Amino acid sequence: MTGMPDAAQRPATGAPPAAESLSRDGTTAFALELRDVRKSFGKAEIIRGTNLQVRPGERVALIGPNGAGKSTLFNLISGRFGVSSGDVLLHGRRLNGLKPYEINRLGLARSFQVSNLFTRLSVFENLRCAVLWSLGYRYSFWRFLADARDANRRADDVMAMIKLDRRRDVLAMNLTYAEQRALEIGITIAGGASVILLDEPTAGMSRSETSRFVNLIREITAGKTLLTVEHDMGVVFGLADKIAVLVYGEVIAFDTPEKVRADERVKEAYLGSVLADGQAQGPAQGQAQGQAPAEAQAAGH
Ligand SMILES: Nc1ncnc2c1ncn2[C@@H]1O[C@H](COP(=O)(O)OP(=O)(O)O)[C@@H](O)[C@H]1O
Ligand SMILES: [Mg+2]
């Protein structure tokens, strides 16, 4: 009986209290970890020894100039590309050599910088496909029927989360640009992954769309681990617990927003120019890197 309060504070696994910060082999404390990850395309080394440690539930913004390797890093984490060397770990498990769908089923999901919707399917159908796919549906009639009912329910839940329930039967191609981006995030999280990677989720949005969208991202990813590529410094400083600055394939800083903002190397390499015209929250910050206009991207798929 005297042991009860203590037990209540500890994880049900009976893990020692220290497990929260570091396990004995130093791996399991992080939801996502990169260890000296390198990637070359031909002779060009694009990712040059990246280390990153993201704790469960942490929100990390990955920033850096165009061409720094941010999307490449996402491709390495999600298994679209293999690393040239180094390790990627998800909850302490090495992902090297796994296929994207295998990594997805281990609980990591990503969105793409370029739209990935089925434009001729409705909102509901897009979500339902994403759910069924993530269930790893194999052909068994009875199981399919049960899964299909679950999938419908899950698709409805996600639709409500992304606030598109009133657009249920609208084809993806007929949604507004911001709605399409919301649907993409819905598709990304539909399978219930605990680690979410978003590549420029607010690209091409107006300022007011962006701020609404950031609130949506915050709600949808509550309790999850988030790694997001973002150019809008207002979004970065409003959303992120930590910022990783990638310049020419190297993480030159990884710290809290305040510390990164004050970092001389970061100012020199990247933030100086971006922050020059007012501090992060200022309304003038907007599309710091000049995104493509919404109309141009909305039509893509
Ligand atoms: N599949 C690929 N083959 C060859 N080069 C690539 C490939 N993908 C990306 N790159 C190169 O890697 C560099 C980083 O690109 P990227 O990761 O898209 O940058 P970011 O997302 O930071 O703007 C660029 O020089 C780009 O041309
Ligand atoms: Mg990119």
Question: Residue 224 is which amino acid?
Answer: K
Ligand 1 atom closest to Cα of 81?
A: 1
pTM of the model: 0.80
Structure tokens at 6: 């203590």
Q: Which domains occur in the chain, in start order?
A: 28-298 (3.40.50.300)
Residue 276 above 70 pLDDT?
A: no
Beta-carbon neighbour count of residue 66 at 10 Å?
A: 9
Any atom of ligand 1 within 6 Å of the Cβ of 70: yes
Does residue 46 have its Cβ closer than 6 Å to ligand 1?
A: yes
Distance from the alpha carbon of residue 30 to the mean position of ligand 2, in angstroms: 24
- Distances in Å between the Cα of 116 and the Cα atoms of 44, 126, 168, 188, 219 are 28, 10, 18, 10, 22
Q: Is 69 in the pocket of ligand 1 (CB under 6 A)?
A: yes
- Pocket residue to mutate for ligand 1, from 41, 45, 227, 247, most atoms within 8 A of Cβ: 41
Residues 6+ positions from 210 with CB-CB distance below 8 Å: 202, 232, 234, 235, 286
Q: Kindly report, residue by residue over 105-155, the tens digit of the pLDDT.
A: 899 999 876 667 999 999 999 999 888 887 765 556 666 666 778 889 999
Amino acid, single-letter form, for residue 215: N
CA 8 to each of CA 1, 16, 22, 29, 180: distance values in angstroms, whole numbers, following the listed order? 11, 13, 20, 20, 43
Ligand 1 atom having least distance to the Cα of 68: 22
Q: Which atom of ligand 1 is nearest to the CA of 72?
A: 17
Ligand nearest to the CA of 73: 1
Quote the tokens at residue 252.
């030159």
Ligand 1, atom nearest to 65 Cα: 22
Q: 145 CB contacts (<8 Å, ≥6 apart)?
A: none
Query: Is the CB–ligand 1 distance for residue 66 below 6 Å?
Result: yes
For residue 201 and ligand 1, the question of a CB distance below 6 A is answered with: no
- Higher pLDDT, residue 26 or 113: 113
Instruction: Tell whether the model's pLDDT for residue 300 goes beyond 50.
Output: no
State the distance from the centre of ligand 1 to the C-alpha of 70, rounded, in angstroms. 8
pLDDT in tens, 56-107: 999 999 999 999 999 999 999 999 999 999 999 999 999 999 999 899 989 9
